[in-house]
Amino acid sequence: MPHFSYDEVPYPDYCYEETHPSRMEMLGKLLGMTPTSVEHCHVLEIGCAGGGNILPMAAVLPNSTFVGIDNSIVQIESAQADLQASELTNLTFRHMDIMDITPEFGQFDYIIAHGIYSWVPPAVRDKLLDVCKHNLTPQGIVYVSYNTYPGWHSLEIIRDMMLYRTRDSQSPIEKSAQAREWISFMAHALSDHSDSAYAALFENYLAFRVTQTTELDHQALLHDELSDFNTPVYFHQFATHVEQHGLQYLTESDFPTVMPNGLTDDVVQHLSETARTTVEMEQYMDYLRNRTFRRTLLCHAEVEVNRQLRIDPIRQFYVTSAASSQTVDADITGRGIERFIGSNQIAFATDHPLTKAAFHYLIASAPQRVHFDVLVRQSELSLGISEPSGNDRVALAANLLRAFASSFELVEFHSFAPPLVTTISDRPVTTPLLRLQARQGHVLANLLHQRTNLEHLNRVILMNLTGENDHVILLDFLVNLVQKGTISLEEGSPISQTEDEVRAMMSNQLDTALQILAHRALLVG
C-alpha cells in the first residue's frame, strides 16, 4: 500500500482554540501554578504544518516569540511565505525533524504538540516527551493531543475496514474517496437494522464526517484514520509514559470534561470511593464516557498542583459568555431564578442579582473579553449598587467558577484580551494576516483563535480593511465590483437598477458586513 506523505497531502492548516497558550496559562493559574504571561512568553509548536495554528497566535501576541517546526519542507515553505506576507517578526519556522531537537534548541514556556503522539512510531513518542521535559521552563505547560480507548476500540473497526478497502489505491484522492464510499455502503447496507449497535457505529461516524469540509475531510482522513501509525492508548498508559519522562498530568484543555458533569450523585460518590488518584479518576471517567480523544496539558513532575478549585485566581482573568437567557422578562434586581443556556444545551440557574447582571453584561459585550474587576463594577452599576458588598463579589466569583466548570459555553476564563474592537471606526482595520487568510479561503482564524467562515462579500470587504479606506472608498469599490459583475446584489433584488439604487443597497450591505466582521472578532483598534 503506497504511503502518501505530508508533502503530497498537507495536513489541514487551521487554528485550534484549545491549543492557545492563553488557555494553558489560565488553567495553570487556576490549578496553583505560576506560568509565564502569554504576553511575554516563548512558544514552540511541534508539527506546525503550514502555520495555520501558530501564525494567528503570533499576530495577537507581538511581545512573545514563537517557533514552529515541521518535517515537511512543502508545509514549512508555505508557512514561511505566509509569515512574510503577514509582516510578523516574532515567529520563526524551521524545517526539521523532532528527533534532531536537543536541550540546546532552547527553553519554551509553552509547547504545543497537536496530532502527533498517536500518529508516530514509539521512538518518536518517546522523543516528543523527552523534548517536553528538557525544553520546557520550570513552570511551563505542554499541550498534547492523542486518541484514547475505550472509544477508539469501535473506531478501529472502521479504520481496519478502510485500510483493507483502500490497500491497492494509487493516489490520495482515490484512497480517501474509496474509504468514505465503503463506510457509506456499510451504513446503507445496515440501515434496516436501526436497533443494532453495529449499524449505529457507521451512522455515527458518517455524522461526524459530515461536519468536516471537503478539503479537511480528505486531508484529515488520510493523516488520521488512514495514517500508517494510529496508536490509541488508555489514559492511564499515557499518564505512566508521561511520568517516565519526568512530567505529570495537569488537566485537560477542555476543562469541563474533567468534571463529573451529567453524572448522578450516587455515581460520583462511587467514583470518589473507587479512584485513589487523579489518574484513576480520569481513567474511570473515560470508561463511563467511552472517550475517543484527549487534549491533555502536562507540566514538570516537580510542580505542585492544587486541584482544589479556588476563586482567588479568577480576579486575574478576563471573562466571556456565549450563553443566552432562557427567562422571559427577567428581573435581574430581584431574587427570582434566571436560567442561562449555552448552544450545547447545558444550563446554569441562579437567583443571585449580581451574577444575573454579570451574565447580561457578558452577553451584551460579546465577543469582547471583560476583566473580572470591570465585570464586577459594571454589574454593580447596572443594579444601582453604590456600596459594594464583599460577600456579593465572592458569590459572583464562585458562581462564575461553577458555570465555567460546567461548560465553556456558559463561562470561559482567559489570561489576556486581544486588541479586537466591536465599534466600527471611520476607517476600519484588520490585521495583515487576516487579510491574507481572506484572500486564501473562507475559513479564517479570528482574534480569539476561533475558526470563522466568511461569505464571499465579507471576505472581499475584509481584504480591504487596511485602516486607510473609509466608508466612501469602500462603497465606491463595492459598487465598481457590482458593475463589473464580480459580486452580485442581494438575492431577490430587481434585475434593473439605477446607480443610486445600487449604491444604496451596497451601502446597507457594507454596514451589515462590517457589523458581522466586528461580531466575529475580526477587527482591531
- In order along its 525 residues, the chain shows pLDDT tens digits of 345 566 777 777 899 999 999 999 999 999 999 999 999 999 999 999 999 999 999 999 999 999 999 999 999 999 999 999 999 999 999 999 999 999 999 999 999 999 999 999 999 999 999 999 999 999 999 999 999 999 999 999 999 999 999 999 988 888 888 988 898 899 889 988 778 899 989 888 888 776 655 554 677 788 888 888 999 999 999 999 999 999 999 999 999 999 999 999 999 999 999 999 999 999 999 999 999 999 999 999 999 999 999 999 999 999 999 999 988 777 777 788 999 999 999 999 999 999 999 999 999 999 999 999 999 999 999 999 888 788 999 999 999 999 999 999 999 999 999 999 999 999 999 999 999 999 998 899 999 999 999 999 999 999 999 999 999 999 999 999 998 888 877 655 555 678 888 899 999 999 999 999 999 999 998
| Nearest partner of 86 among 326, 430, 520, 498, judged by Cα | 430
CA distance 53 to 20: 9
CA distance 86 to 88: 5
CA distance 30 to 481: 51
Cβ atoms of 15 and 445 within 8 Å: the answer is yes
CA distance 299 to 278: 15
- Spatial neighbors of 162 by CB under 8 A, at least 6 apart, are 178, 179, 182, 183, 225, 226
Query: Residue 518: how many CB atoms within 10 A of its CB?
Result: 18
Q: Residue 471 burial by CB count (10 A; 0-12/13-18/19+): exposed, middle or buried? A: middle
- Spatial neighbors of 423 by CB under 8 A, at least 6 apart, are 518
Cell reading at 222: 488520510
Cβ atoms of 136 and 160 within 8 Å: the answer is no
pTM of the model: 0.94
Cβ atoms of 436 and 445 within 8 Å: the answer is no
| Single-letter residue type at 192 | D
| pLDDT of 1 | 39
- Spatial neighbors of 485 by CB under 8 A, at least 6 apart, are none
Cβ atoms of 110 and 135 within 8 Å: the answer is no
Residue environment code for 106-135, b if the CB has 16+ CB neighbours within 10 A, otherwise e: eebbbbbbbbbbbbbeeeebebbbbbbbeb
Q: Please name the residue that has the C-alpha cell 514509539.
A: 122
- Spatial neighbors of 27 by CB under 8 A, at least 6 apart, are 141, 250, 251, 253, 255, 297
Is the C-alpha dihedral spanning 221, 236, 98, 21 positive or negative?
positive
Question: Cα angle vertex 94, ends 26, 89, to 5°?
Answer: 65
Strand partners, 143: 112, 297
Cβ atoms of 301 and 133 within 8 Å: the answer is no
CA distance 45 to 54: 7
Cβ atoms of 129 and 242 within 8 Å: the answer is yes
Cβ atoms of 417 and 318 within 8 Å: the answer is yes
Residue 288: strand, helix, or coil: helix
CA distance 99 to 91: 21
Strand partners, 298: 142, 249
Diameter of the chain by CA atoms? Answer: 76
Q: How far is CA 86 from the centre of its chain?
A: 21
| pLDDT of 495 | 56
Question: Cα angle vertex 411, ends 410, 414, to 5°?
Answer: 150
Task: Give the E-state strand segments of 56-118 in sequence order.
Answer: 65-70, 91-95, 108-113
H or E stretch covering 76: helix 73-86
Cell reading at 118: 498517536
DSSP 352-400: -HHHHHHHHHHHHHTTS-EEHHHHHHHHHHHTT-SS--HHHHHHHHHHH
Cβ atoms of 159 and 292 within 8 Å: the answer is no
State the Cα torsion 69-1-153-236 to the nearest 10°: -40
What letter would DSSP give residue 250?
Answer: E
| pLDDT of 450 | 97
